[in-house]
């Protein structure tokens, strides 16, 4: 989508942390990234998926009519477990990400800074953005 068509506001934010399901090889991530990139781009969903070798953290932002059904599919996805939703809000928010990106964080960084964090959701989002910026975004 051309940059000029990316709206500065979105209708919802969905943010969660989870853990790679037991017995799942790390290689499943390649497949889910392939599907995610195509779907998210096609539907104007922006945000990021961060993985540290064990934990995921993901922010999805976009049209609630698309994001919330996707969120339900993600929550039910057996490739990860212990899905802990930290933010599920409908409303007009500034987009935090211009695109949808994925990043590999340092080992245990997502676990230490997000999964075990007790901070309010917005502070967690700030930490999340910092981690995405410091990760090998691909």
Ligand X SMILES: Cc1cc2nc3c(=O)[nH]c(=O)nc-3n(C[C@H](O)[C@H](O)[C@H](O)COP(=O)(O)O)c2cc1C
Instruction: Please say whether the beta carbons of 17 and 51 come within 8 A.
Output: no
Q: Is 36 in the site for ligand X (CB under 6 A)?
A: yes
Instruction: Please say whether the beta carbons of 113 and 78 come within 8 A.
Output: no
What number of other Cβ atoms are within 10 A of residue 120's Cβ? 11
Site for ligand X in 101-120 (CB under 6 A): none
Site for ligand X in 51-70 (CB under 6 A): 56, 58, 60, 70
Q: Is 35 in the site for ligand X (CB under 6 A)?
A: yes
Pick 38 or 120: Cβ nearer ligand X = 38
Pick 39 or 93: Cβ nearer ligand X = 39
Q: Is 77 in the site for ligand X (CB under 6 A)?
A: yes
DSSP states of 19-64: EEPTT--TTHHHHHHHHHHHHHHHTT-EEEEEE-SSEEEEEEEE-H
Q: How many residues form the binding site for ligand X (CB under 6 A)?
A: 16
Task: List the structure tokens of 71.
Answer: 């969120």
Compute the least distance from the CB of residue 41 to ligand X, in Å: 10
| Phi, psi (rounded to 5 degrees) for 105 | -85, 170
Site residues (vs ligand X, CB under 6 A): 18, 32, 35-36, 39-40, 49, 56, 58, 60, 70, 73-74, 77, 79-80
């Amino acid at each position: 989508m051309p940059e000029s068509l990316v709206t500065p506001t979105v209708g919802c934010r969905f943010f969660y942390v989870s853990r790679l399901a037991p017995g799942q090889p790390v290689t499943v991530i390649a497949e889910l990234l392939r599907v995610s990139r195509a779907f998210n781009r096609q539907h104007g969903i922006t945000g990021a998926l961060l993985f540290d070798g064990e934990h995921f953290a993901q922010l999805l932002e976009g049209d609630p009519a698309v994001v919330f059904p996707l969120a339900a599919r993600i929550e039910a996805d057996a490739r990860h477990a212990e899905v802990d939703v930290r933010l599920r809000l409908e409303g007009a928010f500034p987009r935090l990400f211009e695109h949808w990106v994925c990043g590999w964080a340092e080992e245990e960084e997502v676990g230490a800074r997000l999964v075990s964090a007790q901070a309010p959701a917005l502070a967690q989002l700030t930490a999340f953005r910092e981690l995405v910026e410091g990760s090998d975004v691909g």
